[in-house]
């Protein structure tokens, strides 16, 4: 059956909870697909209210009201809205379908999906993967947890499109039929325990990236991270492991100064380490993951290398800022969990002064 066949919202009452980027994308998509849409948010005002109302979306601000949710035929959650909120829990108990924005959008995509998750490194790997595939001549749309919400990509999706999607645990926990052709789990460590009740609940959300895969799909996994490999234990998909330290007979490894894909007796050089312009050895693992995906897609090694040579990293991710009186300043404010911060600090030698802040989300 063609993806999305049989799923229609025409004439249905749809409520979207949360008016951030993903919620707005979902509301606009639902309106274009013929639903009667209400976008609900706890804030008293939102910047996009006028545009939404012009598109036919009813904007309800100041809180999620029981009457609105109880009257819905479908409820779609933005990633930032916890599914255990009382008004949402009561709707689910009443038999009203509740799904996430990622799930909604994926039902209408015509192209294949490469989904990338992990506790750290998602944005770097997603961006680099998208650029490698573009360099290899593929039609690519990058988004999800970065850039455009997946809902905003649906109208551009064709059978030739490859969607490279960064997926968070908040997005994955709201999926039911989401089916990546390639699912990448970079690493796993405790995080977001201010949202997930337990580490096990967080792990279960991450593992949903593999839930609907088949034997013709791929799981790309970090062999140096046993926790992430364990989460894919029951996935029926083919495996492609990558490792910075293990001598894998089959997988993507480091051989001297080159990232190489091994397959039995075959050896394919992919990217020389001399082309990497990123600070921090741990980011080599992200490059390896992107190269692993690109090799599955069939991107030539020269296109991978050219992409890596031109990639100097993302804003706020070990981003060089300036040097004053011999002191180098580096911005790694994207490291919002303990493991990511630890890896960043370990990227430098002695004499490092760390400026930390933010909200504790659990972990040791």
End-to-end alpha carbon distance in the chain: 46
What would the mean pLDDT of 236-247 be, rounded to a whole number? 95
Spatial contact of 209 and 172, defined as CB atoms under 8 Å apart: yes
- Closest to 193 in 3D by CA, of 364, 18, 11, 8: 364
**Confidence band for 335, pLDDT divided at 50, 70 and 90:** low
pLDDT of 238 above 80: yes
pLDDT of 1 above 50: no
Q: Tell me: the pLDDT tens digits for 263-303?
A: 988 999 999 999 999 877 778 999 999 999 999 999 999 99
| Longest alpha-carbon distance in the chain | 65
Which residues make Cβ contacts (< 8 Å) with residue 351, sequence separation at least 6? none
pLDDT of 151 above 70: yes
3-state secondary structure of 323: strand
Q: What pTM value is reported for the model? A: 0.88
In this predicted structure, what is the pLDDT of residue 138? 98
Can you list the alpha helix ranges (DSSP code H) found in 71-166? Answer: 86-93, 101-106, 122-135
- Closest to 291 in 3D by CA, of 196, 184, 199: 184
Q: Whole-angstrom Cα distance, residue 115 to residue 143?
A: 10
Q: Tell me: the pLDDT tens digits for 178-233?
A: 999 999 999 987 566 666 668 889 899 999 999 999 999 999 999 999 999 999 99
Active site residues: 122, 145, 192
| DSSP code per residue over 145-200 | SSSB-GGGGGGG--TTEEEEEE--HHHHTT-SS---SEEEE-------TTTSSSHH
What would the mean pLDDT of 140-154 be, rounded to a whole number? 94
pLDDT of 338 above 90: no
13 or 323, greater pLDDT: 13
What would the mean pLDDT of 79-100 be, rounded to a whole number? 94
Q: Tell me: the pLDDT tens digits for 55-88?
A: 999 999 999 999 999 999 999 999 989 988 999 9
Q: Tell me: the pLDDT tens digits for 21-53?
A: 999 999 999 999 999 999 999 999 999 999 999
Residue 294 phi, psi dihedral angles, 5° rounding? -60, -35
Cα dihedral 16, 20, 24, 26, rounded to 10, equals: -60
pLDDT of 236 above 60: yes
Full set of structural domains in the chain with CATH: 13-96 (3.40.50.720), 104-309 (3.40.1190.10)
Distance of CA 77 to the CA centre of its chain: 16
């Amino acid at each position: 059956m063609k993806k999305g066949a049989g799923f229609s919202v025409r004439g249905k009452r749809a409520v979207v909870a949360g008016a951030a980027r993903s919620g707005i994308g979902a509301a606009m998509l639902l309106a274009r697909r013929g639903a009667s849409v209400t976008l609900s948010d706890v804030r008293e005002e939102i910047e996009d209210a006028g545009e939404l109302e012009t598109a036919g979306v009813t904007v309800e601000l100041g809180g999620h009201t029981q009457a609105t949710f109880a009257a819905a035929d479908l409820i779609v959650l933005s990633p930032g809205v916890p599914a255990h909120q009382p008004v949402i829990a009561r709707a689910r108990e009443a038999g009203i379908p509740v799904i996430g924005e990622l799930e909604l959008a994926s039902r209408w995509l015509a192209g294949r999906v490469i989904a990338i998750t992990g506790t750290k490194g998602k944005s770097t790997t997603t961006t680099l993967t998208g650029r490698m595939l573009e360099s290899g001549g593929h039609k690519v749309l990058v988004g999800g947890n970065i850039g455009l919400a997946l809902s905003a990509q649906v109208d551009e999706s064709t059978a030739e499109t490859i969607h490279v999607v960064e997926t968070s645990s908040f997005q994955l926990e709201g999926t039911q039929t989401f089916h990546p052709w390639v699912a990448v789990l970079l690493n796993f460590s405790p995080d977001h325990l201010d949202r997930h009740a337990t580490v096990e609940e967080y792990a279960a959300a991450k593992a949903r990236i593999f839930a609907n895969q088949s034997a013709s799909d791929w799981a790309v996994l970090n062999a140096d991270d046993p926790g992430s490999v364990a989460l894919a234990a029951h996935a029926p998909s083919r495996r492609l492991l990558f490792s910075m330290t293990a001598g894998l007979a089959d997988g993507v490894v480091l051989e001297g100064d080159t990232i190489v894909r091994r397959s039995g007796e075959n050896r394919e050089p992919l990217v020389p380490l001399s082309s990497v312009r990123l600070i921090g050895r741990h980011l080599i693992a992200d490059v390896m993951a992107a190269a692993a995906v690109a090799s599955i897609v069939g991107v030539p090694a020269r296109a991978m290398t050219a992409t890596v040579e031109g990639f100097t990293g993302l804003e706020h991710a070990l981003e060089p800022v300036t040097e004053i009186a011999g002191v180098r300043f580096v911005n790694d404010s994207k490291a919002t969990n303990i493991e990511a911060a630890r890896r960043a600090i370990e990227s430098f030698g002695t004499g490092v002064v760390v400026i930390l802040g933010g909200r504790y989300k659990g972990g040791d």
